[in-house]
Amino acid sequence: MKRINKTLILLSGLVFATSSCKDSFTELGPYNRLSEAAIFDTPENVELAANGVYSQAAIGTYAGGAGRGYPFGAASIQQAEVRGEDVVNLEQFYQITYEATYSTTSANNTNHWDQLYNLINQANLFIEGVRGAESAGIITPEAANVYEGEARFLRALSHHELLLHFSLPYAEGANAGAYGVPYRDFGINSTETVERASTVDRGTVAGTYEKILADLDYAESVLPANSPINRAGKGAAIGLKTRIKLHLGDWAGVIAEGTKLGTDATGGTFTSPIGSYSLTASPDGPFTNYSNNTESIFSIANGQNSNPGTNGSLARMLGPAGPGGRGLVSTSPNLYNASFWVAGDLRRELLQVQDETGTYRHFFTKKYTDYTTQSDWAPILRYAEVLLNVSEAYARTGNTGQALLLLNAVRDRSVPADARFTSAPTDLIQAILNERRIEFAAEGRRWPDIHRLVLDPDYSTGGIPAKIKSGAWGGVFQNDGSDYGVGKPAIAAEIPAIPYSDYRFLWPINNTEVTTNPILANQQNPNY
C-alpha cells in the first residue's frame, strides 16, 4: 500500500506559512514545518494549518515537484475546458487530454487524481487536528465547527471533481449503481490508517453523492453567512449544493437550495439574503476585482508571494502570448461565432482578447490577466452560476416565468437591448445551456455540463464532442485569426467525436494506484 501512503500524504504536505495579506490565504511566505504534535497547539497554528489546506487546493504539484494547479487552479480549469469543444488546444501541453489519448500513466489525469486525494487527506487530518485542539481547550467548539465545515466543503468539492472525470454521470439514476470514487473521510498518517484506506472501495455513484451532500449539509449548518471570497462560507455550501443537485437531476432540490440564496425573487433582480451576493453590474466585475466583488461566492486565491508558477498560472496558461501568456489554449471560433452568442455582447469585448503579436492571432480569454505575478484567483462558484442552475431547474419543472427571469438577470447585463428575451424562447432549456457556455467560458464548467447531460434525451452531445484541429497540426483552422467573426461559418471539426459508449469518456485510475491497491485494481474503468 505504498502508493496510498505517497498519494495521501500526512500533514507534512501542508504549506505552513505566515500571511502577508489577511485577504489572501495563499499569499504566503515560507514558514518552518511543525511537528505533528505542535501543529494544533495554538489558535495561530490552527489558522496556519487551515491556510495550508487552502494552499493545496490552489497549487498542488506536478509529479511531486512544482505547483501546477491540479486540484482547483489552472490545470483543473484548463483540463475541464479542453475535454470539451469550446476551446482549441494549440500546443502539445494538453494535447493528450484534448485528443483523449490518455492512459493509466499519462501525467494530467494521474496528477489530478493524486492531488485531489492529497487535498482530501489534508482536509481530513485538519479536521482531526482541530477536534483535538477543541478537546484541549485551545480553540472553542464554535471555532472547531467552522474549521471542520470548511474542510468538509473542500472534501465534498474534491470528491465531486473526481466523479466528473473518473465515474459515469448519475443521469437521474441511470448510473446510480455504477462505480463512484473512494470517499475518504479519515486522515492517513500511520500504518494503521494506510491499511484502513486500502479497504475503501469505490462504492457507487449514488453513494458518493450522498456523502458529498452530507458534508455540504454539515458545512451549511456551521459556516458563517459572511465569509471572504477565498474562504468557504454558508453561501458556498448552499451554492455548491445547487450544482450537485443539478448533476443529480433533482430539480426540486436545486430550487429549494437556490431559494435560500434569493433565487425565488419575482422582480427580476436577485440578491442573496445569505452573504448579500448579487451580480456585478458588468460581466467582467468578478475578474477585474476578483478578491472583493459581490458575485464571487468562492474562489481559490493566489498571490504575489505564493503564486502557482508559470505552469500553474491561470493567466499564463490560458492567456495569449503577446501580453505575456503562453498561447496554449484559445477560444474556439465555433463558440465565438455561434449564432446564440449575439453581436454586441459585452463578454466578447470585455472578456475576450485577440493576440496581436503572438504566433496564434486567435481570441483568448481575458478573465485572467496578471501575467507577471500570476495573482488571479480561480473562480470556483459565482452567483451567476447559482442563478443559471436554478433557472434550468425551473425550466425543467415547467415554471418558465421564473426560469426566464433568472436567465435574463445573467444575460441582460451583457447583450444589447434589442437582443434580450422579452418572452421565453421556443427552447428555453437550450437557451439556458447556451448561456452557460458563454458566461462560464474558460472557468472549467464545460466538461461538467457535457458529463451530466450525456444521457439527456434532448440536450446531450452524445459523448466527447468533435473538436477543431489546430493549424499547427495541419488543420483547416487558420492561425491568423481570420476564422473569427460573428456570423462566420463553423470550422470543420477534424478531431472525431468520441461516443459516450467509448471507454475514453472516462479517465483511468492511474497505473501505480491500481497496481498497489487490489480493490481499485478490480474496479478500474473498463478497457484500461
C-alpha cell at 47: 489558522
Per-residue cell: 53 = 489546506
Question: What pLDDT is stored for residue 312 in this prediction?
Answer: 83
CA dihedral for 369, 373, 376, 378, sign (positive or negative): positive
- Residue 171's Cβ-side half-sphere holds a number of Cα atoms within 13 Å equal to 19
Dist. CA 44–CA 49, nearest whole Å: 9
In this prediction, residue 13 carries a pLDDT of: 32
pLDDT of residue 282: 98
Cell of 475: 488543420
- Written as nine digits, the cell of 495 is 478531431
Q: Which three cell numbers stand for residue 140?
A: 472553542
Rounded to two decimals, what is the model's pTM? 0.93
User: Which tens digits make up the pLDDT trace of 172-219?
Assistant: 999 999 999 999 999 999 899 999 998 999 999 999 999 999 999 999
pLDDT at site 4: 31
The CA-atom distances, in angstroms, between 129 and each of 55, 123, 192 are 17, 10, 17
Please report the pLDDT score of residue 7 as a whole number: 31
pLDDT for res 11: 33
pLDDT digits (tens, 9 = 90+) for 86-110: 999 998 888 999 999 999 999 989 9
Q: What top-level class would CATH report for the domain 2-304+379-521?
A: mainly alpha
Q: Where are the domains of the chain?
A: 2-304+379-521
Name the grid cell of 332.
474556439
Residues lower than pLDDT 50 in the chain: 1-34
Nearest to 77 by CA among 308, 285, 274, 256: 308
Determine phi and psi for 231, rounding to 5 degrees.
-135, 130
Query: Residue 34 has what pLDDT?
Result: 45
Reading the block at residue 249, the C-alpha cell is 437531476
In the block, residue with C-alpha cell 487558420: 478
- Concatenate the DSSP letters of all residues of 27-78 into one string: -EEE-PPPPTTTTTSSHHHHHHHHHHHHHHHHT--STTSS---TTTSHHHHH
**pLDDT confidence of residue 16:** 27
Separation between Cα atoms, residue 172 and residue 153, nearest integer Å: 24
How many angstroms separate the Cα of 187 from the Cα of each of 124, 129, 156, 451, 484?
Answer: 5, 10, 15, 30, 50
Q: Alpha-carbon distance 192 to 183, whole Å? A: 18
Helical pair 43-58 and 141-166, crossing angle rounded to 10 deg: 10
Q: DSSP letters of 80-135?
A: HHHTSSSEEE-SSTTHHHHHT---TT-HHHHHHHHHHHHHHHHHHHHHHHHHHHHH
> What's the gap between Cα 131 and its chain centre?
29
Output the CA angle 414-295-271, nearest 5 degrees. 95
Give residue 363's identity as a one-letter amino acid code.
Answer: F
Report the distance separating Cα 212 and Cα 214, nearest Å: 5
pLDDT at 74: 87
User: ∠ at Cα 497 (491, 501), nearest 5°?
Assistant: 165
